[in-house]
Amino acid sequence: MLSLLLLLIPLVFSIVIWFTKGITSRAAALVGTLVQLVFTGYAYNVFLAEGSKPFEYLYQMAIKPNLVFHFSMDGISMLMVLLTNLLLPLIVLAGFNRFTERANVFYSLMLLMQMALIGVFISFDAFGYYIFWELALIPIYFIAFNWGGQDRAAVTLKFFIYTLAGSLLMLFGFIYLYTYSPQNSLDWAVLKANPICSCEQGWIFWMLFAAFAIKIPIVPFHTWQPDTYKTAPTQGTMLLSGIMLKMGTYSLIRWLLPIVPDGFKEWQSVAITLSVVGIVYASVIAIMQRDLKKLLAYSSIAHVGLISAGVFTMSRVGLQGSLTQMFAHGINVVGLFFCADIIMNRTGSNQVEGIGGIRKVAPRFAGWFMVIVLGSVALPLTNGFVGEFMLLFSVYSYNTWLSVFAGLTIILGAVYMLRMYQKVVLGDAIIENMQFEDLKWNEQLVLGIIGVLIFALGIYPEPIFELIEPVLKTLTP
Amino acid sequence: MTSDIVFFLLAAISVFTALMVVFSKSPIYSVMWLIACFFSIAGHYVMLNAQFLAIVHIIVYAGAIMVLMLFTVMLLNLNKESEPHKSILSKSIGIITGGMLFLVLLAAMRSTQLGPYSAPETTDVGFVQKVGMKLFTDYLLPFEMTSVLFIAAMIGSVVLAKKERNI
Amino acid sequence: MSELVNTSTPQNWYLLLSTLLFSIGVMGVLIRRNAIIILMCIELMLNSVNLLLVSFSAYAGNTDGQVFVFFIMVVAAAEVAVGLALLVSIYRNLGSTDIDVLSKLKG
Amino acid sequence: MEQFIQPINLIAPSLWVPLLPLLGFFLLTFFGKQLKSAGPWIASLLVLGSFLLSVYLFVNLGNKQSLDYDVFTWMHWGEVSLNFGFLIDPLSLIMLLVITGIGFLIHLYSIGYMHHDEGFVRFFSYLNLFIFFMLLLVMGNSYLIMFIGWEGVGLCSYLLIGFWYTNDAYNDAAKKAFIMNRIGDLGFLLGMFFMLFYLGGLDFATVLSNAAEFEKGAPLLVVITLLLFVGAMGKSAQLPLYTWLPDAMAGPTPVSALIHAATMVTAGIYMIVRSNILFSLAPFTLEVVMWVGVATSLFAAIIGIKQNDIKKVLAYSTVSQLGLMFAALGLGAYTSGMFHVVTHAFFKALLFLGAGSVIHAMGGEQDMRRMGGLWKYIKVTAITFLIATLAISGIFPFAGFFSKDEILAAAFHHKIVWVLLSVSSMITAFYMFRLFFLTFFTSFRGTEEEKHHLHESPWTMTLPLAILSLFAIGAGFLGMPAVMHMPHWFNGFLAPVVETSKSILGEAHHVDHNTEIMLMLLATALAVTSIVIAYVFYVSRKTVPEPDTETKGLAKWVAKKFYIDELYNAVFVKPMMVLSDVFHVVIDKLVIDLFVNASAWMVGFTGRTLRLVQTGNTGFYLFIMVFAMMVLLLIQLVQ
């Protein structure tokens, strides 16, 4: 039942916010996300105390065809729900000193998005999962379309069609699975317990993988991403990169690995190679990016490339590392985009070159930005390192040479991140009479929380491990 | 035996009038033949012991629908043969296609397994009481919905047929 | 009473009859160009189906079929009303009910 | 090491050793404004506290005991668990004392040196952070904890090199240092993966005991040690990853003294000594280490001759000395290398601090061509500087003499190495005295204004100089050569750490006493010769190095550091940038988007084509409808 409440709270607030106006809207959104966060905290405690039982909820929508909404929770879902509900208040708070046109619609969509994301993470039946997967696309489409920047019509259309095409293939895959599952069921446990003939798993794998690879995105399915990240309003970008992207990697672990294990094994090498190529490829592109948000977008591709490579090693360490890194990356990337947003907002420029000198006028901002950059380049004792270490080790265990290439990320990551930081924050101001206020209270709060999380999880990642380890035991040999 | 004779008689009338509907030149005649066809079908209903339907059929089709058609034909002044003929080719293609459809349906019918029905215990299935019971218990909601449909259709046709002034 | 019920006639004949009527209706739709006559042919087709339903209802001793026929009549009446209204407005605009004139939907 | 017992009561003090500077970092970062000028003093005192705790540990532990404990589990999966734990053994104790001791002195010095800087407090918070990470590096009980410190000091190095962040050249230098270090770190990381995979863990106890099972020269160990050495090359600025260190002189001088001379750059040597068993089991790697060390030593020394920036000279001398240490390690003389680390820490820190004092006196000027004759203006600095210069040149009885001699003696059986190292030492003596003479002798060559400004530094700066010079004189006596019939305390202290290696490598090539004395004399003679040559050039003839534009031929190559930076730029940096644009513009925008757009176009094309079917003829539609119905029925029938 708790799972249903987790879905309903954002939905109710989403509806309520629709009827508010202006400043009230964002205050209501903050209240809503905070209520949800508190409730998630409660749910987390219950989860630790009683396991997944209180979360079971089944709603049979139709008997023939056998369509079920099955909500439940295991450690992985809990982790992702925590991430979602932790980031949402931060994302809302990040926009607190901005004027947003039609704020009620904006925040309403955002809360709707939250509900859809949680739905994806707690659905244990492919039917409900698919519905929420698609539902998550709708609010973000409108957010990017209505509040986006230049070329938004073309860019959002590309994004929408791209992801929709992927989902369609996934739908085919699921329908096929449905037809051939023994009780005509799409329940996760049933699908997992009755894998279809390994001769057919290969193409089922590709059906599902296409959807996930586009969402993640894995090179070469990534071309929608940099433009979309650039065009979407920053709060939308935070949602996209911080949480929505995790839908893909989460689904790799939840839906792809247990359901088509043989197909997974069959295409493992291809997928890992793609991921690793993606890491190097995106990192190299990021080096010379001139647009701030696009640079971060490519860096994000590089990071998630490593995450998916870890998943595809099918090893315990790889999965654990990827989940840890998913959580860490969610936090870091939101922080990075927030910093980019602050810079773009105050200077009016979205270029890497031609700003400079921010540190002199806004030392606090520069300091927090540095912390987040460090988390992003995976310095030990930051959250990025724990995941990256485990991921690289998993890739190493799979193939030594691949790990050398994947390991280039720690060099190239430092190259592009520090280059960006130097050009933007350090040096002398290039813009004359630059007015750059230091952090406002809400920005200070958001960056402070992110900074503390970066170190806390870097030094003591045990809470994450504690959640996911029992689940991973059942997923890997 | 008598019922067979009645059936064949009615069937012959039905088919003949139907063909006349299709092939008569003037729409007015077509309407007339169609009314005749409907009556014969009503006869079939009676033969099948569906009195209620037979009556409703005559009221609705012959009484309402066909009158409406007739009015329209006259209103539009279509009673004279104004229809340009289709070419022989397209006509024959139509006939051939219709014939082929008939053959296919026939074939489908032949391969259909009918019955066996358990012999009906009562023969009053078509009586007003029976139909009414069904209609007002099991099918109450659809029945009520039909009224909504009718209102929609009524309003729709009024709006459509109304002369548009402000163009 | 019982001799009035024509269940002695094989049901196949009813099937044959309604098939024939249906095909004639289809043929009419195909060879005529006057929209009103096409509308009538459609009525004919609907009636053939009704006949089929009634015969099944009678032979199986089940009233549901007749209820269906009732609903079909309702729909047919609504359809004719709207269809004729459409025709009137088409005629008013184009001065003809010839379906070959109605080619505005060309893609 | 089994005979070691765990003295539990020492765990708490040992924990506080790194925690104190970390506390200082947080205090200064978050309350810097409130603390005002007390901040730097607090920072310094906290480091002093660490130093005192280290002394306490040193006294209580000695070399008969060691501490090895885990604080908490950091990462774990399946059977593997990686703990956050500390190991205090003789080797870490030595490093602890050096780091906190010199660290404290440099803190004290910085109070004077950085006083007028607007980032005064920030500077100390970084310094404290650095001390924390450096302590983590040497105290960790596993390669993973060492790696934390390893990267952490890289970060602090980055922060401190780019301390004056408004200058973009400094920022570039900082970035370069970080990235070069990261290249090495990747090697380290991969080395760790090999260990984790094949040796079953990352903590020293497990790794080293499991490694001992392998036979000498096992390929696995060679790979691991080579990878670790790559890490050491990055951190300790060896060929080919050394170019960041001279650039790192952009940072404030105390930073150069602390990080880029005394402590951080010796992390590579510490790491190899720590894993000496692995290296001893991989003779091939030792060979590589030795040759890299020799080459670096010589190469950097040659470049040092033609540098005119006082700090650049010292930087190249650091690279050269580090090369010397690696050569010692490569020869299997781990304790000698470590000994040189310690003595070098003292005299090189002293040199840098002295240079800082000179720069302070000169008001920021670093070019030696504009100095000269400073002896009479800043006496304390000059004297301590002279002591350090003598020490680095290897003149008896200064510290450098003993450690350098030990390394040369160890190299004696390997004639080519010995010759090259001797040449390198000789060049070292030359350019160091060139530096000394140019700075302090003859007459002042700067402007009148500068001359007027010349003054001795405050006591916070001269006191560390004095203390360090005492060590630069005396530290050598910790390791007396056998010929002097005194106990070699240093080797004895470290003996437990390297005893396994000793048994693997076999008995070292001992030179007999006569040869040893002869070697000492020879080395001293060479050094003295160099000094004399330098004296003749720069004092008697009063030669001043020509301006940069007039350098020609070979000299220009040397002065331009053999164009290595330019080479790297052309071979790695530029192609990377071009590749980046090619990937973005050609592959992303053209190739991949071509497929994407092609599929979109396909959809559009299909739509445009199928549109033609829609003739608009209602009769035709009806016909098609009936026909299709028929076909569907037929299909149903046929099935």
At residue B82 the predicted structure's pLDDT band, cuts being 50, 70 and 90, is low
Q: Is residue C104 part of a domain?
A: no
**Chains A and C touch, contact meaning at least 3 pairs of CB atoms under 8 angstroms apart:** no
- Alpha carbon dihedral A426, A427, A433, A436, in 10-degree steps, equals 10
Q: Report helix, strand or coil for D81.
A: strand
Alpha carbons D422 and A416: distance in angstroms, whole number: 43
Buried b (16+ CB within 10 A) or exposed e, D357-366: bbbbbbeebb
**Smallest Cα distance from D620 to chain C, Å:** 9
* Mean confidence (pLDDT) of chain C: 83
CATH assignment, B2-81+123-161: 1.20.120.1200
Contacts of A421 (CB under 8 A, 6+ apart): A369, A370, A373
pLDDT of residue D8: 77
**pLDDT attached to residue D1:** 42
Residue A66 confidence (pLDDT): 84
Q: What confidence score (pLDDT) does residue A439 get? A: 83
Look at A407 and D189 and tell me if their CB atoms are within 8 Å. yes
For residue range A230-268, list pLDDT tens digits in order.
899 988 999 999 999 999 999 999 998 888 888 888 899
Put simply, the answer to whether B101 touches D634 (Cβ < 8 Å) is no
Shortest CA gap C103–chain B (Å): 16
Among C26, C99, C106, select the one facing D619 at the smallest CB separation: C99
Of the CA atoms within 13 Å of residue A161, those in its CB half-sphere come to 12
CB A73, CB A122: distance < 8 Å: yes
**Mean pLDDT along residues D60-71:** 82
pLDDT at C6 over 90: no
Any idea what the Cα angle at residue A309 is, between residues A304 and A312, rounded to 5°? Answer: 130
Q: Count the domains in chain C.
A: 1
Neighbour tally for A154: CB within 10 Å: 11
CB pairs under 8 A between B and D: 22
The residue-averaged pLDDT of D221-231 equals 91
Q: Which residue of C has its CA nearest to D610?
A: C107
Beta-carbon separation of A419 and D175 below 8 A: yes
pLDDT at A389: 92
- For residue D213, pLDDT beyond 60: yes
Distance from CA of A64 to the nearest CA of D (A): 23
Residue C4 pLDDT > 60: no
Inside any domain, residue C103: no
Q: Is D80 helix (H, G, I), strand (E, B) or coil?
A: strand
Is there a contact between D626 and B111 if contact means CB atoms under 8 Å apart? no
Verify whether the Cβ–Cβ distance C105 to D614 is below 8 Å.
Answer: yes
Partner-chain contact D193 A287, CB within 8 Å: no
Separation in Å, CA of C100 to nearest CA in chain D = 6
Residue D394, pLDDT > 90, answer no
In the complex, which subunits touch D with 3 or more CB pairs below 8 angstroms? A, B, C
Give pLDDT, residue A168: 92
Dist. CA D510–CA D332, nearest whole Å = 13
> How far is the alpha carbon of D594 from chain C, nearest alpha carbon, in Å?
29
Domain interval for residue C24: 7-98
For residues D147 and D143, give the distance between their C-alpha atoms in angstroms, rounded to a whole number: 6
In tens digits, what is the pLDDT along chain A, a chain of 477 residues? 788 888 999 999 999 999 988 788 888 999 999 999 999 999 999 988 887 778 888 888 888 778 888 998 888 999 999 999 999 999 999 888 777 788 889 999 999 999 999 999 999 999 999 999 999 999 999 999 988 888 888 899 889 988 998 899 999 999 988 888 877 888 888 888 888 888 888 888 999 999 999 998 888 888 888 889 989 998 899 999 999 999 999 999 999 888 888 888 889 999 999 999 999 999 999 988 888 899 999 999 999 999 999 999 988 899 999 999 999 999 999 999 999 988 888 888 888 887 878 888 888 888 999 999 999 998 888 998 999 999 999 999 998 899 999 999 889 999 999 989 988 888 877 776 677 788 888 888 999 999 999 999 999 998 899 888 888 888 876
Q: Most confidently modeled of A394-403, D530-539, D560-569?
A: A394-403
What does the alpha-carbon distance between residue A177 and residue A183 come to, in Å, rounded to a whole number? Answer: 11
CA angle A158, A160, A166 (to 5 degrees): 100
Q: Do residues D345 and D262 touch, judged by C-beta distance below 8 A?
A: yes
Which pLDDT belongs to residue D227?
92
CATH number at residue C70: 1.10.287.3510
Q: Is D486 on the interface with B (CB under 8 A)?
A: no
Residue of C nearest to D614 (CA): C107
Interchain contact, B47 vs C6, CB within 8 Å: yes
Cβ-Cβ contacts under 8 Å, D623 against chain B: 93-94, 97
For chain D, what percent of residues have pLDDT higher than 70? 97
* Cα separation values, A350 from A145, A415, C32, D336, Å: 19, 20, 68, 55
pTM over 0.90: no
| Most D-contacting residue of A316, A396, A398, A417 (CB-CB within 10 A), to test interface | A396
The mean per-residue pLDDT over the stretch D182-209 comes to: 89
B–C interface: beta-carbon pairs under 8 A: 247
pLDDT band at D510 (very low <50, low <70, confident <90, very high): low
Categorize the per-residue pLDDT at D468 as very low, low, confident or very high, splitting at 50, 70 and 90: confident
Q: Provide residues of C within 8 Å CB-CB of chain D.
A: 26, 29-30, 33, 38, 99-100, 102-107
Number of domains in chain A: 1
Partner-chain contact B53 C69, CB within 8 Å? yes
Q: Which of D620, D621, D629, D637 to substitute to test the interface with B, most B CBs within 10 Å?
A: D637
Q: How many CB pairs under 8 A join C and D?
A: 34
Q: Of A173-177, D59-63, D632-636, which gets the smallest average pLDDT?
A: D59-63
All residues of chain D having their beta carbon less than 8 Å from the beta carbon of residue C87 are none
Written as one string, the DSSP assignment of A150-219 is: TTHHHHHHHHHHHHHHHHHHHHHHHHHHHHHSTTS--BHHHHHHSPPPHHHHHHHHHHHHHHHHHHTTPT
Calculate helix-pair angle for D283-305, D310-330, nearest 10 degrees.
160
pLDDT at position B85: 62
CB of D629 less than 8 A from some CB of B: yes
**Rounded-to-integer distance, Cα D174 and Cα C40, Å:** 89
In eight-state DSSP terms, residue B118 is: P
Domain containing residue A417: 2-475
Tell me if C31 is assigned to some domain.
yes
Distance from CA of B27 to the nearest CA of D (A): 18
Gap between the Cα atoms of A129 and A121, Å rounded? 8
Q: What is the pLDDT of residues D118-128, one digit of tens each?
A: 888 888 889 89
With an 8 Å CB cutoff and a minimum of 3 pairs, decide whether chains D and B touch.
yes
* Partner residue facing D626 (CB), from B90, B101, B111: B101
Is the Cβ pair D166, A317 closer than 8 Å? no
Interface confidence, given as ipTM, is 0.77
Taking contacts as CB-CB distances below 8 angstroms, the residues of chain D near A380 are 147-148, 151-152
pLDDT tier for residue C24 given thresholds of 50, 70 and 90: very high
Q: Name which of A305, A299, A301, A307 is nearest A324 in CA terms.
A: A307
Alpha carbons A384 and A457: distance in angstroms, whole number = 9
